[in-house]
Structure 1
Amino acid sequence: MADAAVEFLLENLQQLLLYHAHLISDAKNQVETLENDLRLFKAFLKDSTKKRRKDDSLRELVRQIRDVVYEAEDIIDAFVTQAAESKSKNYFLRAFQTPVKLLGIAKEVEAIGGKVRAIYGDKSKLDFATLSVADGGAEETEAPLVRQENVVGFEDEAEKIIGYLTNEADYLDVISIIGMPGLGKTTLAGKIYRDPAIQYEFPTRIWVYVSQEFTKKDVFISILREFTRITDEMYKKSDHDLAREVSSHLERGKFLIVMDDVWTAEDWDKLQIAFPKSNKAGKILITSRHEDVAHHANRIRGPHNLRFLTQEESWLLLRLEVFGKPECPSELEVLGKLISEQCGRLPLAIVVIGGILVKKFSASEEMTARKNAWRKVSESVSTYLNEDPQRRMEKIISLSYDKLPYHLRACFLYLGMFPEDFEIPVWKLIRMWIAEGFIQQKTGITLEETAENYLEDLINRNLVRIDKMRRDGRVKTCRIHDMLRDFCRIEAGNEKENFLQEIKKSSDGVFDPPVDDVKKFRRICIHSNVLNFVCSRPYGPRVRSFVCFSKEEITLPSENVSTIPAAFKLLRVLDAKPVKFTKIPSDLYHLVHLRHIALSFNLGVLPSSFSKLWNIQTLIVDTTSRTLDIKADIWKMIQLRHLKTNASATLPKTGKSSKEGQKLQTLGTISPQSCTDEVFDRAGNLKKVGIRGKLATLLDGKNGGSFDSLGKLGSLEKLKLLNDVFPSPPSEGQLRGLPQPYKFPPKLRSLTLSDTFLDWSKMCVLGLLENLEVLKLKDKAFMGKCWEAADGGFRQLEVLLIGRTDLVFWVASAHHFPRLRRLELENCEELREVPIGLADIRSFQYLDLYRTKHAAGSAKKIREAKEKMQDEQTAKINGFKLTIFPPDE
């Protein structure tokens, strides 16, 4: 990934010059020259994005840029590492001639820069803002085959869309089919296009393949071809005149136009000028990979998101592709089902693997031979998919990949670091992206907000799937389809990139790729056989990320605790929570480039030496101890943005400088005694805080901490209060009350309470928090048999969770929670009913009951009431959803 390499090295050089110029003082001139050439490379790479795959000379130049930038990055990072390790800078510079090496690499960079400048001609006219690589001619576009045979699993989808198309509308109706590459959008559109009911309903039916490289003239003429003979004179007309001519033919009568493969909202805007909005009988069916296209084309009707095949449909489609009929020899049935399952319910993958089974393994072979052949395929479906001579999977995904803005490419490929079918925590993902330098700083918003926007863009392009949503409506976890993940690994792991590599152990007990090859890679992930890998003494002088998401917890033997930091000295990301360290190796403190670290250990102290990691942005520590004494001076870790631990952390005393700590956004969970004016004055930009310990001391202002100090946090949006009175039983930690509303942080949007044993009468305090949108009452946060909601509170509350309480009677109505959207009741086993009046809340959409059996009947009544209130149109858009577990309740 040349783009990402240049972007990160530029950012890295700027950070070094800003914060640690003394470490590179002897190489300052070379660094400044390098910086100028990198800006040229950045502009060139951005401009040449679309042309690289089809131009060998451009690809070779991009490869040279990537290699020389990687080498420069390695030299600078190694220089900084050794300078930081050295006790004497002068001694270090005599011993290590990095400025000489840097001068050499700067000359190489300059030479390649000359090649780039030659492409653009006169250097004196070079303008980074207007660079333009000459196009080698119009790109060929190939219309996709609209398959007529073996259409499986689209009956319900087709019926629904045909219903939309045949219903009357008050405007020119646009219906969109949206889905990831290979899901069957074109196939479904073709099935609908050929349906007898559609043929009867629409005398005029036109299929237009749009593609990425369309011209308005070609599209308009392809439509006019249905109405008139195309002459040379028509090609001479302007796009505007052709659009008017199309519109005149479509002004009257029924018509259906299928716009297949529309890529952007801007593309739709260019074409929709030809469609008469006054013709209510007209319909347009769009297929696209991008949600934005659908929402832009029709702001009233949402898109039809195409589902994946079921396992049964997948198996049927494979049988039809291989045998031409639903029947399959019984000897191959088990293996066939296994193969179809590994295609990830993606129609294109099933069609491709079916073709490979037909071509590679003849039906004339004896059954034993065929069975052995099918077994081989079942053991590595992804490998056989890549052997497809037409490279259909690669081609169709490459279209989406090539269309990505250059700043999204590295973010997308990085998803290959996670295991297959892994539930990816968004909080972690975006912080890993930031640590890698993939996220560009933008004025007015944080890096985290920009990263969330990047993820949303990938989701809208159907390259990433939402798995779980947060209660505030943001994405909590996401997934990537196995076929897309395979593409990421192949694209990023091939020899010309070495962007990332997954380490696996083969059935022969050998690591693939071999451990010796680790020295070539820049990022590695390993999710199984971790201990064996560590014990094999890997060495990766170029590795920037070491990631492990093993399902098993691994405890490193004492003799191996130093292996990872010693082997990978240039790490930026170390995320290995399944790997438990019995002690913290001293080599860890030499990893001065670390920006993101997530570790597990069984210690109760975070040593002072952690302060040496001055680049750290995210520090995640899991420990078996209930408390964590942080000896490290986190206030000197000037890049630190997020500190998370599962223990109750005691923070070090603050220093004199007021600038240290200003970047901190997340702090949790900390002890009540750490909640002081000094801490929160220093970390005044905190957005999330978690507090764990004896909360009574916090509310009473004892032992140094005070709730009043929290009120000064003007940016705080999320607060968690976990009452932990161990070794006393939780019930002995009952809080007598809560602070007055004005003492809470003014912008607080989300509040979580746990084990506080408050009386329900104290809820009126929380009701007066003006900006509170999410309230989670977990594990006996409130206790008592009856809660009668008070008037005038919870004006902004959208999400309410009540868990593990002895509440029996709850009295409330719609005006007590006017904006409630979601209600979750967990382990409220004595609650008799959910207040029926909540059904009158217009925004109320979700009601979830988990082990709250006595209230199940009232929950069903609320659903019935909601269904009666909503008219058909509203119900389609904002249908009420009730979830009860166990379901028989």
Structure 2
Amino acid sequence: MNPTSAYAPSRPLLMAECKLLMASIRNTRDQIKNQNISAGHRILHQKFCVAGQGANSTCAGNEWQDQRGDALLLDRTDLVGIDKPTKKLVGWLVNEGTGREVVSLAGMGGLGKTTLAKQVYDDSEVKKHFSMHAWITVSRSYKMEELLKDIVQQLFSADRKPVPREADNMNSNQLKTIIKELLQNRRYLIVLDDVWHINEWDAVKYALPTNNCGSRVILTTRNADLAFTSRIEYEVSGILATKDMRRIDEWEMVRRSLGAEIEGNDKLKNLKKVLSLSFNDLPYYLKSCFLYLSIFPEDHPIEHMRLIRLWVAEGFVEAKYGKELEDVAGDYLNELLNRSLLQVAETTSDGRIKTCRTHDLLREIVISKSREQNFAVIAKEHNVTWPDRLRRLSIHNTLQNVQQNRLSTYNLKYLSLKSTKVATIPSYIGKLQHLETLDLKHAHVTELPVEILKLRKLRHLLVYRYEYESYAHFHSKHGFKALEKIGVLRSLQKLCLIEANLGNGNIMRNSEANPTEKVRCSKVEKEDGKTLCSSIENLSNLRALSLLSVEDEILDLQHLFSPPPQLLQRLYLTGRLETLPHWIPNLASLVRRI
């Protein structure tokens, strides 16, 4: 044998080795993936029955026969609150333009979208206006070819023609072609009921010609993203109720005690099951985020950024390359909004979400699911006791319980003393090595202990309050006195509100680039200009900057000679400006300047 010859294995052996190698790679990949999933996620992964499978995620005991068909049998005389929305939708269908329009009925499950759509579909004016019509129930378990065959059968029936025999053996593309040819020059109305995902609409829409005959498509959906694809969106926000004049007091009892009524009222148990479908459809990471809503008091507006910070602190948010955890959490929140599981309560002046809320009915589902999973402990009463071991504690209305119960705080990641009378922070704060958020907004704190600099994992430091000073400055905002070495907090994402008028204008003294994204600084004087500009140069990830000057002081920001932070999107300057800072035109990402 030639000693320089290479060993050439046989093909079967080579294939076997390749399979072993691929299996090893997959195993290594899965190990890396599991390492990236937080401990909190792994626990939830095990708790929720079939984790991460979305629409296929089902649990034992959740089996339930969909009673959607009952909504199709109701007469208008059996319903309360149906006349006004029906009249409005009928007007849209028959009086809009000649092009094909898509009308979406969007809202959370159980509100009566199907019932409303069916009443419109059966309206005599609508029946007379459209020569071709079909009602298709999509649902989560649909099969595309079966759905298309259903459309073909209904359309041929409406046209009083027999369905072609070969239709049973046609594929999806052939069925779409038949549908399109049949509807091409006809005024049609197609209702697609219970559409869950955009791809379901995408798979059907090209079979429905965009003719100029005044045709219409109605979609009912829980998915706001899908509703946005239509030209006309109608949000179903109330509940269409069946009449029962003998029990007119029933709804008053529901209003007073919704949670108890859902558990004890057979009629509302079905509503709970309908709403639970939306929860069961969530991937496991969104289930944990959704359950977290149970910690907030009833009718309490939930601050958008507070919720995001809590999710991050809990480890619910999976890291994604090139994205901060807060950005990923923002995507989670938007998905819950799009699924109609959250509602926007208030927006900022530039259209960003400020607060959100859950519908009262969904809140009861959240609380019920949270209780089933032992997800959180809610302390509402003054003398309540809680277990020795707990993962999450939410205290409503009182702080007395904290003094009566001993808690281990070493692993604490989120501490909020917002709107309390707390005036001083003890040096013990330095022992909370895992703390990521310290929220002291609207408390009485004016100084922070130097031990705060030991919190190397701190991501959000929020300290400010409003004080009445004079008629001209009735809403003056005050922060905390600056710590000289605050730049050592290398994980800091948001710093608000630091006072700069003590000769300490340099917010971040480190020479290295700092990861902080949002900074709010008050009591800025003209002499702080150079050191402030020096700090800004180090904040390469800065996205929002707010500077408030001392009364009648000039904001001098002309000393920034390096390129400004290119990610800066929002700039708020409150005070006197002799000239506009020369570097502002170079902010390529700027979307708001005040």
Q: 1:476/1:264 Cα in 2 relative to 1: closer, same or farther (>3 Å)? A: same
Q: Which has the higher contact order (CA 8 A, sep 6+)?
A: 2
Instruction: Give how far 1:264 is off.
Output: 0.6
Question: Which structure has more helix as a fraction of its residues?
Answer: 1
1:407 corresponding residue in structure 2? 285
Other structure's SS at 1:544 match: coil
Other structure's SS at 2:292 match: helix
1:854 corresponding residue in structure 2? none
2:52 corresponding residue in structure 1? 46
Q: Structure 1: which amino acid aligns with 2:569?
A: R
Other structure's SS at 1:451 match: helix
Q: Structure 2: which amino acid aligns with 1:414?
A: Y
Q: Kindly provide the CA deviation profile for residues 39-85 of structure 1, in whole angstroms up to 9, marking residues without a partner as x.
A: 999996334972533x57xx9xxxxxxxxxxxxxxxxxxxxxxxxxx
Q: Structure 2: which amino acid aligns with 1:252?
A: N
Instruction: Give how far 1:168 is off.
Output: 5.7
Q: Kindly provide the CA deviation profile for residues 636-691 of structure 1, in whole angstroms up to 9, marking residues without a partner as x.
A: 42321111112633454549xx9x53321111212314442753546712111122
**Contact persistence 2:227–2:233 (CA under 8 A):** yes
Q: TM-score, normalised by structure 1?
A: 0.54
Match of 1:544 among 380, 391, 396: 391
Q: Does 1:640 align with 2:458?
A: yes
Q: 1:144/1:651 Cα in 2 relative to 1: closer, same or farther (>3 Å)? A: farther
2:14 corresponding residue in structure 1? none
Other structure's SS at 1:770 match: helix
- Could you tell me how far apart the structure 2 residues matched to 1:464 and 1:244 are? 39
Q: Does 1:285 align with 2:218?
A: yes
Q: Structure 2: which amino acid aligns with 1:322?
A: M
- Could you tell me how far apart the structure 1 residues matched to 2:539 and 2:313 are? 26
Gaps of 5+ in 2: 1-32, 465-477
2:263 corresponding residue in structure 1? 386
Q: Structure 2: which amino acid aligns with 1:212?
A: R
- Could you tell me how far apart the structure 1 residues matched to 2:44 and 2:308 are? 25
Q: Kindly provide the CA deviation profile for residues 186-224 of structure 1, in whole angstroms up to 9, marking residues without a partner as x.
A: 122122112221111012222111111111232222222
**Contact persistence 1:176–1:285 (CA under 8 A):** yes
Match of 2:343 among 453, 462, 465: 465
- Could you tell me how far apart the structure 2 residues matched to 1:48 and 1:156 are? 36
2:415 corresponding residue in structure 1? 597
Q: Structure 1: which amino acid aligns with 2:415?
A: I
Instruction: Give how far 1:768 is off.
Output: 7.1
2:175 corresponding residue in structure 1? 242
Other structure's SS at 2:585 match: coil
**Contact persistence 1:472–1:799 (CA under 8 A):** no
2:489 corresponding residue in structure 1? 661
Q: Does 1:714 align with 2:540?
A: yes
1:304 corresponding residue in structure 2? 234
Q: 1:274/1:625 Cα in 2 relative to 1: closer, same or farther (>3 Å)? A: closer
Instruction: Give how far 1:722 is off.
Output: 3.9
Q: Does 1:671 align with 2:486?
A: no
**Contact persistence 2:564–2:587 (CA under 8 A):** no
Other structure's SS at 2:519 match: strand
Match of 2:140 among 212, 220, 224: 212
Q: 1:561/1:40 Cα in 2 relative to 1: closer, same or farther (>3 Å)? A: closer
**Contact persistence 1:698–1:706 (CA under 8 A):** yes
Match of 2:569 among 749, 757, 778: 749
2:378 corresponding residue in structure 1? 525
- Could you tell me how far apart the structure 1 residues matched to 2:295 and 2:127 are? 48
**Contact persistence 1:217–1:235 (CA under 8 A):** no
Other structure's SS at 1:765 match: coil
Other structure's SS at 2:320 match: coil
1:498 corresponding residue in structure 2? 374
Q: 1:622/1:630 Cα in 2 relative to 1: closer, same or farther (>3 Å)? A: farther
Q: Kindly provide the CA deviation profile for residues 794-851 of structure 1, in whole angstroms up to 9, marking residues without a partner as x.
A: x967575xxxxxxxxxxxxxxxxxxxxxxxxxxxxxxxxxxxxxxxxxxxxxxxxxxx
Q: 1:321/1:663 Cα in 2 relative to 1: closer, same or farther (>3 Å)? A: same
**Contact persistence 1:662–1:685 (CA under 8 A):** yes
- Could you tell me how far apart the structure 2 residues matched to 1:286 and 1:631 are? 59
The 5 A counterparts of 1:499-514 are 499=375
- Could you tell me how far apart the structure 2 residues matched to 1:722 and 1:206 are? 61
- Could you tell me how far apart the structure 1 residues matched to 2:165 and 2:578 are? 78
- Could you tell me how far apart the structure 2 residues matched to 1:140 and 1:230 are? 29
Deviates more, 1:623-632 or 1:257-266: 623-632
**Contact persistence 1:8–1:438 (CA under 8 A):** no
1:738 corresponding residue in structure 2? 556
- Could you tell me how far apart the structure 1 residues matched to 2:556 and 2:483 are? 28
Instruction: Give how far 1:255 is off.
Output: 1.5
**Contact persistence 1:603–1:623 (CA under 8 A):** no
- Could you tell me how far apart the structure 2 residues matched to 1:285 and 1:157 are? 14
Q: Does 1:253 align with 2:186?
A: yes
- Could you tell me how far apart the structure 1 residues matched to 2:514 and 2:185 are? 64
- Could you tell me how far apart the structure 1 residues matched to 2:262 and 2:297 are? 19
Q: 1:384/1:249 Cα in 2 relative to 1: closer, same or farther (>3 Å)? A: same
1:148 corresponding residue in structure 2? 75
- Could you tell me how far apart the structure 1 residues matched to 2:421 and 2:179 are? 72
- Could you tell me how far apart the structure 2 residues matched to 1:547 and 1:39 are? 23
**Contact persistence 1:749–1:771 (CA under 8 A):** no
Other structure's SS at 2:522 match: strand
Q: TM-score, normalised by structure 2?
A: 0.79
- Could you tell me how far apart the structure 2 residues matched to 1:14 and 1:488 are? 18
**Contact persistence 2:571–2:593 (CA under 8 A):** no
The 5 A counterparts of 1:304-703 are 304-308=234-238, 320-323=243-246, 338-339=252-253, 342=255, 378=256, 380-389=257-266, 391-494=269-372, 497-499=373-375, 523-526=376-379, 528-529=380-381, 531-533=382-384, 538-550=385-397, 554=398, 556=400, 562-564=403-405, 566-567=406-407, 569=408, 591-599=409-417, 605-622=424-441, 625=444, 627-634=446-453, 636-646=454-464, 648-654=479-485, 661-672=489-500, 673-676=503-506, 679=509, 681=511, 684-693=514-523, 695-699=525-529
Q: Structure 2: which amino acid aligns with 1:295?
A: F
- Could you tell me how far apart the structure 2 residues matched to 1:603 and 1:282 are? 63
Gaps of 5+ in 1: 1-6, 16-34, 60-135, 329-334, 343-377, 500-522, 570-590, 725-732, 774-794, 801-889
- Could you tell me how far apart the structure 2 residues matched to 1:48 and 1:176 are? 23
Instruction: Give how far 1:239 is off.
Output: 2.7
Other structure's SS at 2:142 match: coil
Q: Structure 1: which amino acid aligns with 2:493?
A: Q
Instruction: Give how far 1:464 is off.
Output: 0.6
Q: Kindly provide the CA deviation profile for residues 115-136 of structure 1, in whole angstroms up to 9, marking residues without a partner as x.
A: xxxxxxxxxxxxxxxxxxxxx9
Other structure's SS at 1:476 match: strand
Q: Kindly provide the CA deviation profile for residues 772-810 of structure 1, in whole angstroms up to 9, marking residues without a partner as x.
A: 89xxxxxxxxxxxxxxxxxxxxx967575xxxxxxxxxx
Instruction: Give how far 1:473 is off.
Output: 2.4
Q: 1:385/1:797 Cα in 2 relative to 1: closer, same or farther (>3 Å)? A: closer
Q: Structure 2: which amino acid aligns with 1:617?
A: E
Other structure's SS at 2:463 match: strand
**Contact persistence 1:607–1:631 (CA under 8 A):** no
Deviates more, 1:615-624 or 1:40-49: 40-49
Q: 1:719/1:403 Cα in 2 relative to 1: closer, same or farther (>3 Å)? A: same
Q: Structure 1: which amino acid aligns with 2:392?
A: S
Q: 1:679/1:294 Cα in 2 relative to 1: closer, same or farther (>3 Å)? A: same
2:21 corresponding residue in structure 1? none
**Contact persistence 2:536–2:565 (CA under 8 A):** no
- Could you tell me how far apart the structure 2 residues matched to 1:498 and 1:9 are? 25
**Contact persistence 1:751–1:772 (CA under 8 A):** no
Give me the CA root mean square deviation: 3.8
How many residues of Structure 1 are paired with residues of Structure 2 in the alignment?
Answer: 536
- Could you tell me how far apart the structure 2 residues matched to 1:287 and 1:624 are? 46
Q: Kindly provide the CA deviation profile for residues 392-427 of structure 1, in whole angstroms up to 9, marking residues without a partner as x.
A: 112211221122122211111211211112210011
1:882 corresponding residue in structure 2? none
Instruction: Give how far 1:709 is off.
Output: 2.5
**Contact persistence 1:8–1:436 (CA under 8 A):** no
